[in-house]
Structure 1
Amino acid sequence: MSGLDPDELVRLRVVLARITRGLDRHSRGSDLTRTQVSVLGTVVVRGPIGMGELAGLEGLNPTMLSRLAGKMEAAGLLVRDTDPADGRAVRVAATEAGIAEHTRQREERARLLAEHVDGLPDGHAEGLRAALPALEALAGSLRASR
């Protein structure tokens, strides 16, 4: 059994989803889906990256990722090429436009979060700060269990 009761687990799941949707709604500002935003961020941070590794990191099947990468390449955000170490493998890298879009979204989300955290009642920001290690550990555990 977890350290949280079933009602608290539901509250945690719901609040994390609401925060994510709120950030998406107020900061996406483009035609990118949540999955495309995630893929772009991973490619900017890790790229150039092999499509197989990217599919694993994003939890996407390779066919779906290939379609998604094609759309993002057509939009000028990514570029695919042959892996120089293995001519049979494909890798993907962010273009200047892709990096700029990722940077814009990251800055917009940081500004939006800061604005809302600053507007919380006294003590809540400190509570969020104290919760960060536990939330990071939870995210890491979920990623490792894929």
Structure 2
Amino acid sequence: MDPNTIPEIVNNVSSYNIASTQTNTLLTVVLGLFVAWVAFQQYKLSRAKFKLDLFEKRYVVYKATQKLLTHVLQKGDVDLDELFEFRGKTQDAIFLFDKKIPEYLNDIDGKVLKLNTLRDQLEGIPKSDIRSELCGNMKQLLLSITKELPKLKVVFGKYMNFKEWK
């Protein structure tokens, strides 16, 4: 072997090692960026899934309220079974909304329970001033409950809006 070729071979091997190191570094950076991008996409997906799950739970509360109000407005009355079903489906509202919604639901619950109580009091009372007063109270309560159904979308709207999910 020619002694002049040895430095040339060493020089070529050295150049190869530098190029290999640079390539490995570049691949590591590219792989790291890809992993970071995938992690960010996973974060966005998890966040969207959380919002969807929260929406679904809130929607159950909204629909239960809508169902109760619609029933009361159609029948002018409510059974305790329907009220208990409403309570069962809305009991988690305290964890899903700020305090405004649970207070609103308690207000509706109170009105509907009072309506049920007035109906029970009317049974068996003959025509009299007391019956007329109870009927008047029941009418006022029904008018008050009637105003709640159109307000429902406004009250729940800020919690059910998909536009804020971006």
Q: Which has the higher helix share?
A: 2
Q: TM-score, normalised by structure 1?
A: 0.32
TM-score under structure 2 normalisation? 0.29
Between the two structures, name the one with larger relative contact order (CA 8 Å, sep ≥ 6): 2
- Structure with greater strand percent: 1
* Bigger-Rg structure (1/2): 2
